[in-house]
Amino acid sequence: MTQSVYEQSSFRSNFFVVWDELVKNMKFLMAYPIIFIFWAIFPIFWFIPFILQGEAFVGGLQSANFAQITGSGEYIPFIVIGAVLNSYVNTLLYGMGENIRREAYQGTLDYVFAAPCNKAYVLIGKALSESVSSTIFAASQLTISALLFGMNLTLGVMLPVFFIVILLILGLYGLSLVLAAFSLMYKQSHDVSETIGYIFYIFSPVRYPIESLPFWAQIIGKLIPLTYALIIVRSIMLLGTSFSAMYWEILALIIIDAVLMLAGFYMFNWMETKTKKSGAISHY
Amino acid sequence: MEKNNKDYRLREVKCPAGFSWTNLRAELRAVWESNVKAWKIDLAYPVSFIRQLISPVVFMLPYLLYGLVLIGGRYSENLAQLVGTGDVVAFIFTGYIMMGFIGTAVWAMGFSMRREQWFGTLEAIYVTPASRLGQVLGMALHSTVHQGAGTIIQFIFIYATFGLALNVGGILPALGIFALMMFALYGFGIVISALSLILKEGWIVSDSFYSIMTILSPVAYPLIVLPTLAQQASIIFPTAPALIGMRSFLIENYVPEVVGNVFLHLSVLGAVWILFGVFVFHLTDRYVRKRGMLKKF
């Protein structure tokens, strides 16, 4: 006979909530192999125009002006790193809000919220599944790009990069929680996600160095976790800077993560209580 | 109610049939109403509407800033060697205005039928005594005007921020090329909308086509930098010849990468894509109704 949730230890039952949510979302993903293949390969096509643009404007693979600003004249790895890290923004930011919305579409949101568990663990499970799928897609894109454009990827470089990616994911979790909260109350969080996506795309150094932006835009950019993640990862991968030399940027990223996570959990709990009280949870 | 009853007759709807002026007017009315409906839905979500209006600026800025950082100014020696002009701002702007219109064909038209399916209104539209293509063309009209408004905002932004040196006398022929390109893109959009009826996860097809067309169109680089095979493939899509033609009229000293009659090329492409699109749509329409696939998600 299986134990009831109440009889199991709190840690064990919470672990199962997270695990089952992760497994459920991965099953959804694997049920549509074409979508899986699409996200693993196609985002590469989105940055190829920038590489061709570089070739047309500079007439080679190195730009002297680019080297003056970024320290490295090679614009292809700069673009590839920007695109791969930005793919986390695309999947995590849109994914979490849409994940909650999908439960509503499928008619399972009421059951999820009525389940005898802390909803934060359900969200952690959802966030973990988004992170796992994002990392699989990012790894695939990076590997293909490395093969196509001859980038050097060693374990010594990739380990600190992986740590920074985790920090980036934590910051994006915080933002995703805010979006999930919006999704609960206002249902269509898509526009908010898109708008935040635009801000990230313009003010973060995804396609160009942050120094090329006006001063006021640089200040906005420095409030975004992706900016620090990109600066650190590019410094490690392209300039060979040691991890310890980037402690200011790492500290800034950790502070932004903490603020976003706290804001995210607070907003979600607040909206959850509000929607439960108003009965808006089962509305479309 | 008896058939000879007066009230019964009042409810009858006379459906024009065959290729006649009355029928054409009725079909055009259906296209117009579909366009009005799309505008009403659009304006019901003002945040989304404004976001979509400014999106051409948002997505063009990275191309511009990246280009300026690469060369440290707005003049590229290498670009001048390739196409006769080195002004990257004018080059990117004239290229990027096309991007949104590719989206019109691939996303707005391509997904017009699928959207009705999501709303649960596809079957109701299918039983109305009008061509189903009217729905797609209505969406095309709405999306073209919407994108046009976005392009005007884009132009004002670029003009105010960077300044633009375009050949004013070339605007009229460039608009002619643009109109021909749009006809061909409409044909392409009809093909995608037909595919979305069969392939339920049709966004993958749309996104794939969009990405491929973006690479094959010389938006931010001249066609010459593409591999030979890709250059040859680009002639079957209207955007590459249209961009080259428009730039020759709009940018001073621009040397076209491909020599040929752009007007003729685009006219042929327009006719072929529209005929092919209508043919594929007709086949798909019959197929999905026979198989009862309209209801399936």
Q: Do B69 and A38 touch (CB under 8 A)?
A: no
B219 closest CA partner among B183, B245, B243, B191: B243
Looking at CA atoms only, how far is residue B103 from chain A in angstroms?
14
Residue of B nearest to A105 (CA): B118
> End-to-end alpha-carbon separation of chain A, Å?
38
Q: Do A65 and B71 touch (CB under 8 A)?
A: yes
Q: What is the pLDDT of residues B230-255, one digit of tens each?
A: 999 998 999 999 999 999 999 988 88
Chain A positions touching B202 (Cβ under 8 A) are none
Q: What is the pLDDT of residues A139-161, one digit of tens each?
A: 999 899 888 887 777 777 888 99
Q: Which of A256-260, B114-118, B285-289 has the lowest mean pLDDT?
A: B114-118
Q: Which of A28-37, A181-190, B153-162, B203-212 has the lowest mean pLDDT?
A: A181-190
Query: Taking a C-beta distance cutoff of 8 angstroms, is the pair A270, A181 a contact?
Result: yes
Q: Which pLDDT belongs to residue B130? A: 81
* Average pLDDT of every residue of chain A: 84
Q: Which residue would you say has higher pLDDT here, A121 or B4?
A: A121
Q: Does B81 touch chain A (CB under 8 A)?
A: yes
Can you list the alpha helix ranges (DSSP code H) found in B84-170?
88-103, 112-119, 122-126, 133-161
The number of beta carbons lying within 10 Å of the beta carbon of residue B206 is: 23
Chain A interface test: which of B221, B223, B231, B297 (most A C-beta within 10 Å):
B221
Q: Which residue would you say has higher pLDDT here, A222 or B100?
A: A222
Chain B positions touching A64 (Cβ under 8 A) are 72
Residue B240 identity: A
Residue of A nearest to B221 (CA): A53
Nearest to A57 among B58, B78, B201 (CB): B78
Q: Which pLDDT belongs to residue A248? A: 93
For residue B120, with 0-12 CB atoms within 10 Å meaning exposed, 13-18 middle and 19 or more buried, which class applies? exposed
Q: Do A191 and B82 touch (CB under 8 A)?
A: no
In percent, the amount of chain B with pLDDT more than 90 equals 33
State pTM to two decimals: 0.83
Q: Above 90 in pLDDT, residue A163?
A: yes
Q: Which of A123-137, A174-188, A227-241, B139-153 has the lowest mean pLDDT?
A: A174-188
The number of beta carbons lying within 10 Å of the beta carbon of residue B186 is: 22
Instruction: Name residue, tokens 């614009």.
Output: A75
Q: Above 60 in pLDDT, residue B58?
A: yes
Q: Which pLDDT belongs to residue A271? A: 82
Q: Which pLDDT belongs to residue A60? A: 85
Q: What is the pLDDT of residues B30-45, one digit of tens each?
A: 899 989 998 998 888 8
Report, as an integer, the average pLDDT of A113-133.
82
Whole-complex ipTM: 0.83
Q: Do A42 and B207 touch (CB under 8 A)?
A: yes
Report, as an integer, the average pLDDT of A194-223.
91
B285 closest CA partner among B213, B204, B155, B193: B193
Q: Does B63 touch chain A (CB under 8 A)?
A: yes
* Average pLDDT of every residue of chain B: 85
Q: Does B88 touch chain A (CB under 8 A)?
A: yes
Q: What is the pLDDT of residues B65-80, one digit of tens each?
A: 999 999 998 999 999 9
Instruction: Name residue, tokens 């596809």.
Output: B122
Give dist(CA A6, CA A16) in Å, integer: 13
Q: Do B77 and A59 touch (CB under 8 A)?
A: yes
DSSP state of A85: H
Q: Which of A110-119, B15-24, B122-131, B257-266 has the lowest mean pLDDT?
A: B15-24
DSSP state of A4: P
Per-residue confidence band for A4, with pLDDT thresholds at 50, 70 and 90: low
In percent, the amount of chain A with pLDDT more than 70 equals 91
In percent, the amount of chain B with pLDDT more than 70 equals 91
Nearest to A212 among B68, B82, B225 (CB): B68
Nearest to B65 among A32, A38, A212 (CB): A212
Q: What is the pLDDT of residues B165-217, one digit of tens each?
A: 888 888 899 999 999 999 898 898 888 888 877 876 667 878 888 888 889 98
- Which residues have C-beta within 8 Å of that of residue B120, sequence separation ≥ 6? none
How many A-B residue pairs are in contact by the CB < 8 A criterion?
Answer: 110
Q: Above 60 in pLDDT, residue A5?
A: no
Instruction: Determine the 3-state secondary structure of B224 from DSSP.
Output: helix
Instruction: Determine the 3-state secondary structure of A72 from DSSP.
Output: coil
Q: What is the pLDDT of residues A77-114, one digit of tens each?
A: 999 999 999 888 877 777 766 777 677 767 787 788 78
Q: Do A63 and B71 touch (CB under 8 A)?
A: yes
Chain A positions touching B51 (Cβ under 8 A) are 191, 194-195, 198
Chain A positions touching B67 (Cβ under 8 A) are 53, 57
Per-residue confidence band for B2, with pLDDT thresholds at 50, 70 and 90: low
Chain A positions touching B213 (Cβ under 8 A) are none
Q: Which pLDDT belongs to residue A82? A: 93
Chain A positions touching B81 (Cβ under 8 A) are 59
Q: What is the pLDDT of residues A171-180, one digit of tens each?
A: 988 888 887 7
Q: Above 60 in pLDDT, residue B11?
A: no
Chain B positions touching A201 (Cβ under 8 A) are 58, 62
Per-residue confidence band for B295, with pLDDT thresholds at 50, 70 and 90: low
For B202, phi then psi, to 5°, come to -70, -15
Per-residue confidence band for A73, with pLDDT thresholds at 50, 70 and 90: confident
DSSP string of B229-262, one letter each residue: HHHHHGGGSSHHHHHHHHHHHHSTT---SS-S-H
Looking at CA atoms only, how far is residue B284 from chain A in angstroms?
22
Query: Taking a C-beta distance cutoff of 8 angstroms, is the pair A233, A85 a contact?
Result: yes
Q: Which pLDDT belongs to residue A1? A: 45
In percent, the amount of chain A with pLDDT more than 90 equals 32
Instruction: Determine the 3-state secondary structure of B271 from DSSP.
Output: helix
Structure token pair of residue B55: 């999106």
Q: Which of A215-219, B58-62, B108-112, B186-190 has the lowest mean pLDDT?
A: B108-112
Q: Does B258 touch chain A (CB under 8 A)?
A: no
Domain ranges of chain A: 10-282
Give dist(CA A118, CA A228) in Å, integer: 32
